[in-house]
Amino acid sequence: MPIFNGPWLPGSFTKNFSWGKGQGLRRLHESINVGFNGELKPVLRDEYRARVANLGRPDFIPLNFFLFNSVKEGKSYLAVDELIFQALTAPHSERFDKLALFAFNLSMVGSWKGAQAGQRYPALWARAYIADRLAEELQWDTANVSATDIEKYLSGSGKFQAETTRKVATNLNYLYKTGGLEGLASIRINRWWVDALFLAIDRLIADRELDGDNTSASELPSLLLQSKFAELAGPKTTEKSFAMAHLLSLYQICGGKRRFDPDSVKDRISVIIPDYVAAAPNDPRPQGALHPTNPRILKTIPRECAPLAQAVGFQIIWASDLEAFNPEDFVRDRATQAITNLSQQGVVPRLTAEQLHKLTRGE
């Protein structure tokens, strides 16, 4: 399990990146696209740095605070995970910003050649502030988040290893204002939250791999609980708890971290759905996987994963319909279609509207 109780080390991560007023975390989105060259493939850390050099911004902020690093055969790589997938397959949006803030607060970035002790979990102070202060004490009332409140929390923790907490507090508050922390406080399921669940699982599995540990599907609920995913991803609700079971099934059947590898997905399809005949897609963009029990459970997945998603009960939303998709409209359309089907079958109600109202009121 990740060592979330390690020392809280200071770090410079916001203002000197010149995020840009009113632009959210657009420059992080741009850095990822340039650094990965628009491809869902692991990239050498040095190659990423060379590609983003012309952007004129410090490369260590994305590398050391937002992305996931690992060392293979003596070389440092950046992994493809849910954050990279969202950055490379969709334009910059507030949804991306919320996911990126979650990644920062999760504070799990792996390791690289030359990494110092503590850099594997670089922002434990932010993680603790969100999970313990904002989630538990303030019940996700983001109106109380300020540089002063952050500074007071860090100073009273006894864990922060720095001469002053003011600079980190002001920088962290600046990042939260820029990225829109208040948007994480929804009690309802929304698309950034669904993406954050997949990102948390990606990072938990990848972090354990650094220590030579494999992760079974049965371990994921416990690992998510220990990681404080629920606290970091907005207010805890029953709706979110129920949704996690469906989304874990989707994550697993799509191949987990290997869902971004088309060849791996095709191999899974050949085993799980041996009679499936794939057709060359006219539109290679990711599609949406929607669970019929709750239209807010909508997850963007690589197009190749669509038949696997259907195998565990998800419906597919075409790429062209994703951005315009509205859960309320979906429910309304399904209800209308159900009434039409009943009417066509000659099924008619036995109660009048007035009788039904009396029944529901207990009269």
Residues 157 and 215 in one domain: no
For the ranges 107-116, 230-239, 272-281, the lowest mean pLDDT is seen at 272-281
Q: How far apart are CA 237 and CA 70, in angstroms?
A: 34
Strands (E), the chain: 43-44, 69-72, 75-78, 287-290, 298-301, 315-317
75-78/287-290 β-pairing = unpaired
75-78/43-44 β-pairing = antiparallel
Nearest CA to 87 out of 47, 49, 31 is that of: 31
Q: How far apart are CA 295 and CA 221, in angstroms?
A: 23
Residues 198 and 305 in one domain: yes
Give per-residue pLDDT as tens, 293-348: 999 999 999 999 999 999 999 999 999 898 888 877 676 655 455 455 556 666 66
Q: Which residue has the tokens 């503590």?
A: 118
Give per-residue pLDDT as tens, 205-218: 999 999 999 999 99
Q: How many domains does the chain have?
A: 3
Residues 243 and 124 in one domain: no
Q: Is 280 within the bounds of a domain?
A: yes
Q: Fill in the amino acid letter for 71.
A: V
Neighbouring residues of 235: CB distance < 8 A, sequence distance ≥ 6: 135, 139, 140, 185, 186, 187
Task: Tell me the pLDDT band of 182, cut-offs 50, 70 and 90.
Answer: very high
Q: How far apart are CA 328 and CA 334, in angstroms?
A: 10
Q: Is 327 within the bounds of a domain?
A: no
Residues 166 and 54 in one domain: yes
Residues 293 and 352 in one domain: no
Residues 147 and 276 in one domain: no
Residues 76 and 217 in one domain: no
Q: Is 165 within the bounds of a domain?
A: yes
Residues 135, 231: contact at Cβ < 8 Å?
yes
Task: Tell me the pLDDT band of 23, cut-offs 50, 70 and 90.
Answer: confident
Q: Fill in the amino acid letter for 291.
A: H
Task: Tell me the pLDDT band of 192, cut-offs 50, 70 and 90.
Answer: very high
Domain end residue (candidates: 163, 187, 211): 187
Q: Is 302 within the bounds of a domain?
A: yes
Residues 199 and 309 in one domain: yes
Q: Is 9 within the bounds of a domain?
A: no
Residues 213 and 269 in one domain: yes
Q: How far apart are CA 259 and CA 324, in angstroms?
A: 25
Nearest CA to 103 out of 207, 219, 239 is that of: 207
Residues 168 and 49 in one domain: yes
Task: Tell me the pLDDT band of 228, cut-offs 50, 70 and 90.
Answer: very high
Domain end residue (candidates: 135, 165, 187): 187
Q: By residue range, what is the domain housing residue 165?
A: 15-187
Q: Is 328 within the bounds of a domain?
A: no
Bridge-partner residues for 317, per DSSP? Answer: 288
Q: How far apart are CA 204 and CA 135, in angstroms?
A: 21
Residues 159 and 87 in one domain: yes
Task: Tell me the pLDDT band of 159, cut-offs 50, 70 and 90.
Answer: confident
Residues 265 and 355 in one domain: no
Q: Is 217 within the bounds of a domain?
A: yes
Nearest CA to 150 out of 132, 166, 131 is that of: 166
Residue by residue, DSSP assigns 307-336 as HHHHHTTPEEE-HHHHTT--HHHHHHHHHH
Whether the pLDDT of residue 2 is over 90: the answer is: no
Q: Is 179 within the bounds of a domain?
A: yes
Nearest CA to 78 out of 121, 118, 49, 107 is that of: 49
Domain end residue (candidates: 187, 220, 253): 187
Query: Which pLDDT score is estimated for 98?
Result: 97
Token pair of 328 as six digits: 């309320």
